[in-house]
A and B are shown apart, each in its own frame.
Chain A
Amino acid sequence: MFQLALVHALALSAFGAQDFSPSSVHRTATDGDRNYARIAFNFYDQKDHGGNPNKNDSIRVWEPVLLVVPSMSDKWTGKFKLQGDVIASSTVGTDATTTASGAKRSPLLPGEAFFRTEAAAFYAWSDQLTVGGGLIYSTEPDYKSRGVYLQSTFDLPSHNDTFLLKATGFFDALDLNFFDDTSGGSDHRRTLALGPGWTHIFGPGTVGMINWDFTSQQGFLATPINSVKAAGTEVREILPDSRIRNAIHARVRQLMSPTWAVEPGIGYYHDSWGATAWNFEITSTWEARPAELYVEPSFRFHTQTAVDYFVPDSAASIPEFRTQDADLDKYMSGTFGLNFILPHTTWTGEYSEFNFGADLTWRSDGLDSFTLTVGYMWKY
């Protein structure tokens, strides 16, 4: 039974959905099947110490999140999520939208916000099959998105293998407000994605999982506010109206001792715009105090090539498709993370959990960043 629950949990976790599977909610040695809610405050800070010299990439974002996962019956589990991203600051000392005196532009302004809501339901068809789906709506200045997803997990009778399939669609509408204060009306962006996955228990202390994500995007795929500055002129960013993306990711979680587990992983990505990326990551979870304190250090290395349409400052001409977005350029990054989880402590209560952590990212192009996360979970 433990293996069944673990396979469900791990398999659904590949889709960010492990917490609301009817058969996987809190199947740990200390957790029971209880309804729960999470609240979190996340913070992101990126410094503009490089990247595109014509664009301000400095940004600070606060992100409050509320997640509620109720068990509606033996078979049905719901999920409701509210999220906001509030731009705390996006430039220093200048009006981000002006270009006077060579000031860098920023695509976002302090006080602007992104909101996202999600509602989903999942049904345990049998002890082997779970099906479900959800609706997503998000909005930010000049951008609205409607999303829908369906997902299913299926266990083999041995319960050592779980197969997953998730289909997602996003149907987005954009207001085209360009860098030179002109407007291009509105346009759309459609994203269709298919994500199969396989989780396998190799042995009593080893679990592996592999995921493939196939994504097709159509429509306006550039960033309206972005510009390209080369050959003595400055023009809009223009990118193809279709993009095919493939990503594959594999990881293994190995129990090294009753209080220590290690999870290495590797990912590969390629798309029709010519970009290739690799990432290697390793996470270690250590139970520092039995059932009271878990410590999770992690490291992630990422390297990517530029898209075919990236235009260097020194370019002698402006091609039809062009971008100078630093995030679409070649770079490497390393992220060091440290998280602390405190479940069942005397001051958080038996049915609650407190977590906090930080990530520090170094990027070879100078766009370094860090994050802070604080969260609280209440089981009711």
Chain B
Amino acid sequence: MSNHDALSSGRRRPAGLLALACAIPILLGACISAKQCKPDLSLRIMKIDANEVDLAFRNKIQASREVSGGRPGFAAGGGCGCSN
């Protein structure tokens, strides 16, 4: 069993309720110890923009079709012969 399986299996429903209970005070700015909520920041579902190729494709579309220049972190210009 992988680490991921170990993190996921056998406690999905109670852990889900616990995480949900933790999420509300977190959003409200409360401080919660790591022991109360498991350190699941390493989970894949917590990765932002995990696929660079997909991210670049979305950026190119937004950069060429919107006035706002694309995704954060991408400079305008660089191969688009348009006024965006």
Does B49 lie within 8 Å of A255, measured CB to CB?
A: no
Count chain A CB atoms within 10 A of each CB in B11, B43, B59 and give the residue with the most.
B43
**Min C-beta distance of A249 to chain B, whole Å:** 4
Q: A260 within 8 Å of B by Cβ?
A: yes
Question: Known interface pairs A38-B52, A205-B37, A290-B9. Does A136 touch B4 (Cβ–Cβ under 8 Å)?
Answer: no
Q: A29-B43, A136-B78, A211-B72 are in contact. List 12 more A-B contacts (CB 8 A).
A: A138-B78, A147-B78, A213-B74, A249-B72, A257-B19, A258-B40, A263-B48, A277-B66, A302-B66, A304-B66, A328-B84, A377-B51
The distance in angstroms between the C-alpha atoms of A291 and B12, with both chains bound, is 14
A276 CB to nearest chain B CB (Å): 9
Contact with A along B47-84 (1 / 0, CB 8 A): 11111111111111110111111011111111111111
Contact A275 B67 (CB under 8 A): yes
Number of B residues with CB within 8 Å of any CB on chain A: 68
Which of B23, B39, B42, B77 counts the most chain A CB atoms within 10 A? B77
Residue of A nearest to B33 (CB): A204
Closest Cβ of chain B: how far from A364's Cβ, in Å?
13
A279 close to B (CB within 8 Å): yes
Within 8 A of B (CB), among A335-379: 339, 341, 343, 355, 357, 359, 367, 369, 371, 373, 375, 377
Q: Which of A83, A145, A247, A255 has the most CB of B within 10 A?
A: A255
A-B contact pairs, 5 of them (CB 8 A): A16-B71, A40-B53, A223-B83, A258-B38, A275-B67
Q: A143-B79, A204-B22, A207-B41 are in contact. Are A18 and B66 (CB under 8 A)?
A: no
Asked if A18 and B77 sit within 8 Å, CB to CB, the answer is: no
Q: Which residues of B contact A286 (CB under 8 A)?
A: 45
| Interface residue stretch chosen among A6-14, A93-101, A227-235 | A6-14
Number of A positions contacting B (CB below 8 A): 116
* Residue among A116, A203, A327 making CB contact with B37, cutoff 8 Å: A203
| B67 close to A307 (CB less than 8 A) | yes
Interface residues of chain B, those whose CB is within 8 Å of chain A, are: 2-5, 7-9, 11-12, 15-17, 19-20, 22-23, 26-27, 31-32, 34, 36-62, 64-69, 71-84
Residues of A within 8 A of B34 (CB): 204
| A205 and B37 alpha carbons, distance in the complex (Å) | 7
Q: How distant is the Cα of A270 from the Cα of B84 in the complex, in angstroms?
A: 13
Give Cα A185–Cα B60 distance, bound, in whole angstroms: 27
**Is B7 in contact with A29, judged by CB distance below 8 angstroms?**
yes
Report yes or no: B44 in contact with A287, Cβ–Cβ below 8 A. Answer: yes
Does A125 belong to the interface (CB within 8 Å)? no
Give the CA-CA distance A10 to B50 in the complex, in Å: 9
Check if B4 sits within 8 Å of A291, measured CB to CB.
Answer: yes
Give chain B residues whose Cβ lies under 8 Å from the Cβ of A258: 7-8, 11-12, 15-16, 19, 38, 40, 43
Given the complex of chains A and B, what is the CA–CA distance between A217 and B31 in angstroms?
44
| Alpha-carbon gap, A179 to B53, bound state (A) | 34
Min CB gap A221→B, angstroms: 6
Chain B hits for A155, CB < 8 A: none
Which residues from A are CB-within-8-Å of B8? 258-259, 287, 290-291
